[in-house]
Structure 1
Amino acid sequence: MATGGAMAQDLSGKTVEFTIPFSESGGSAQWANFYAPLLSGALPGNPTTVVRYRPGAGSTEGANWFQGQQDRGDGTQIFGDSGSTKFPYLLGDPRVRYEYQEWKPVLASATGGVVYLPPELGERFDGDMDDLKDEPYLYGSQGATTLDLVPLLAFRMLGLTVDPVFGVEGRGDGRLMFERGEANIDYQTSSAYLANVQPLVDDGLAVPIFSWGALDDAGNIVRDPTFPDLPTFKEVCEATEGCETEGVAWDAYKAFFVAGFANQKTIFLPSSASQEMVDAYTQALDEIIAADGFAEASNEVLGVYAQMTGDAAIEATRQATTISDEAKQYVLDWLQEDYGITME
């Protein structure tokens, strides 16, 4: 039961529009529809919560629309983004007219991912990539400015020679290339890995080598709770000659890792929302997360990952939407030099 300042933010009889910049299919729709009824039950006044879809331009169209809704701070308008919304912002895509620093995060949801190799290469992995640098790699990619930016940058930092085959429709197609022997390095997000790659591992057809990791409440990279026995990319980088976990390349990697995985999806209130309204949402979400049965339901739908609120959500969002000028330029130069991609 909401109390104190949260009670003053009574939403009885109102409808909360939970807008996402995507279509009705896909992970973001699944995430939003998971939380919508829970918010209805936990927010003061038990408002009706409905999910609205505003797809277009890789999610920038919907985010631009939300930027124009910043006067709707009465608690009836919330917005959910994803990594594909954060990446154009970090890269300075000219289509972006939204400003994350004006929005108020109330929930940050993480996911993870695992990199794996065929057994003839995976059996040579011993915690670093030093003995695997001379191999030529093929990787099925959706594009260098999609979430694949994270693995492509990680492979570069490790000193691997990776030839991406651009144009695959989704990570599932990248996995199929791996299964057919057309690719010899791949990664899948956690849910897809568990469903489709773990059977390959069990049959001796794939070897996982590292996960991207997760963030703790202080913003430090730690082992992925879904794959606690796998080292993180940070651990492998530290063990690999020439790979540094400080400096401009690392700053660039971490910014996009957080935006793409450690805080992939975020719920925002508009800038005009009062602190009392932010507190009402935070309290409701805290109650949702603490409720009996939430962990089991969340793990099934979202994976075994932190659902961060309060200061943790604010810090995760700050990291996911902030990049130094030097790190940004490093990525822009790399994209142009290696792939001929410019942000124009």
Structure 2
Amino acid sequence: MKPIKSLGRLMVAAAAMWASAAYAQSADFGGKRVEIIVPYEAGGGTDLYARYLAPFLSAKLPGNPTVIVTNVEGAGAIAGSNQFQERAKPDGLSLIAVAASVTSNYVFRDERVRYKLDTWIPIISSPAGTVVYARPDIGPKTLGDMASLKGKQLVMGANNPSGGDMRVLLSLDLLDLDLKPIYGINRGDARPAFERGEFNVNFDSTQAYPTQVKPLIEAGEAVPLFAFGIADENGKIVRDPTVPDLPTFVEVYRSMFGKDPEGPGFEAWRAVFNLNVMASKALALPADTPSEIVEAYNTAMKEVLVDLRKPENVEKSDEIVGPYPQALGAQAGEILRGAVAFDDATFTWLQEWIAKETAGRQ
């Protein structure tokens, strides 16, 4: 019987070695090119995110493939997302950079959406804070001075009410401010228009804040109003560690109304916060990507995060990816799918809000 047991062990060992060899072969990207589709214009926060991670990913994937970034902008991120859905093969050579408009347009069922975000396979999900700021000539002179905006006509460039701009449009609405959105404006065009004085309110990610917004503040052309904040491990919204001097939305609401926000409107705001802030950016593979390729990416991304925290990289990494905890693999998938799964009451409330917002601007 012993020879049979030994033979069995040899067969098991051989099978394991064969499986390992097959895994290595199928996950080898040597001499290949990996493309990250960014469904936004070049130079925006999502573009910078993808371009920053690309060389780190190239260095850690088996075979060290070339990783390039391709911008496919249009239709509020829908054009590039649809293209990814229709053309990306599950061979590990295509990824997509997911951000607020991609998720929001999917959740709120924009009629142009053909992509199936809930089938994509995220390999990393990154929170990203949001800062809202205004021109000083409409009232605010000091940080967080929201009271000075009461009764003023606020004008902001936005793509549409159901995309990534929703978090700010909804926030200003709940703060009972008189906002006039100018729709059809991409994020890359909004800040230059703000600088020219065409808009008097704007917002940016906390990653863009140090390089794009602080110079405006220092030049006396902008005053920061509030940041959205970040959810801590208990789900409480606390100040964003990248802009700790800025009050959160909850704090400015309390300062204006003397109480914490509550009710269906705030439940809707919280859902959009989870969608657009806590699941702000991600890199994802197409549906049906084989498990061995997914695992190769998960392993590579773990190693990438180690490199991002090295002393020579940490300052730039905090600026572009953020200092927040990053979700990888299965956790990234849970965060993204959880963010797009609204309960019926919240979804209905937001649908009605979008319909009212759209009708009011026609």
> CA separation in 1, counterparts of 2:360 and 2:139?
31
Task: Choose the corresponding residue for 2:116, options 60, 74, 99.
Answer: 99
C-alpha distance in 2 between matches for 1:261 and 1:196: 19
SS in 2 for 1:340: helix
- After superposition, the C-alpha distances for 1:89-134 in whole angstroms (9 at most, x for unaligned) are 111111112222212111113332222342884358778x5x4574
Q: 1:242 to 1:133 in 2, by over 3 A?
A: farther
What is aligned with 1:198? 214
RMSD, matched Cα: 3.5
The normalised TM-score by structure 1 is 0.80
TM-score by length of 2: 0.76
Residue in 1 that maps onto 2:277: 261
2:289 matches 1:273: yes
Question: Using the alignment, how far apart are the partners of 2:216 and 2:58 within structure 1?
Answer: 41
Aligned residues of 2:231 and 2:237 also touching (Cα < 8 A): yes
The Cα shift of 1:294 comes to 3.3
Q: Which runs of 5+ in 2 are unaligned?
A: 1-19
With over 3 angstroms needed to count, the CA separation of the structure-2 counterparts of 1:53 and 1:209, relative to structure 1, is closer
Alignment correspondent of 2:51: 33
CA distance in 2 between partners of 1:200 and 1:240 (Å): 26
Q: 1:11 to 1:52 in 2, by over 3 A?
A: farther
Equivalence for 1:59:
77
| Equivalent in 101, 108, 118 of residue 84 of structure 1 | 101
**Which residue in the other structure is 1:313 paired with?**
332
User: How far apart, CA to CA, are the structure 1 residues paired with 2:316 and 2:216?
Assistant: 26
Answer yes or no: is 1:157 the counterpart of 2:174: yes
Letter in 2 for 1:15: K
What amino acid maps onto 2:176 in structure 1?
Answer: G
After alignment, is 116-125 or 323-332 more displaced? Answer: 116-125
Question: Residues 280-304 of structure 1: CA distance to partner in whole angstroms, max 9, x if unpaired?
Answer: 2122111111112332332344454
What SS is found at the alignment partner of 1:32? helix
2:92 maps to a residue whose letter is G
Structure 1: gaps spanning 5 or more residues: none
Percent sequence identity is 32
Q: Residue type of the partner of 2:130?
A: G
Residue type of the partner of 2:77? S
Aligned to 2:355: 336
In the TM superposition, 1:187-336 aligns within 5 A as 187-202=203-218, 206-216=222-232, 221-241=237-257, 245-291=261-307, 292=310, 293-336=312-355
Q: Which amino acid aligns with 1:193?
A: Y
Superposed displacement of residue 158, structure 1:
1.5
Query: Structure 1 residues 69 and 336, CA, compared in 2 at 3 Å: closer, same or farther?
Result: same
CA positional deviation for 1:250: 2.4
Relative to 1, partners in 2 of residues 1:277 and 1:133: Cα closer, same or farther, differing over 3 Å?
same
CA contact (8 A) 1:211 1:224 kept: yes
State yes or no: 1:142 paired with 2:158: yes
Q: Distance in 2 between matches of 1:153 and 1:79?
A: 27
**Secondary structure, aligned partner of 2:36:** strand
Q: Secondary structure, in 3 states, of the residue corresponding to 1:95? A: coil
Alpha-carbon deviations, 1:286-324, whole Å to 9, x = none? 111111233233234445455432354234313432223
User: Contact 1:226–1:305 (CA<8 Å) still a contact in 2?
Assistant: no
Inter-partner Cα distance in structure 2 for 1:29 and 1:341: 32
Q: Is the 8 A contact 1:114 1:212 kept in 2?
A: yes
Contact conserved, 2:40 with 2:77, CA < 8 A, in 1?
no
1:11 maps to which residue? 28
Whichever residue aligns with residue 127 of structure 2, its letter is: A
Aligned residues: 333
Letter in structure 2 aligned against 1:310? G
Paired residue type of 1:81: V
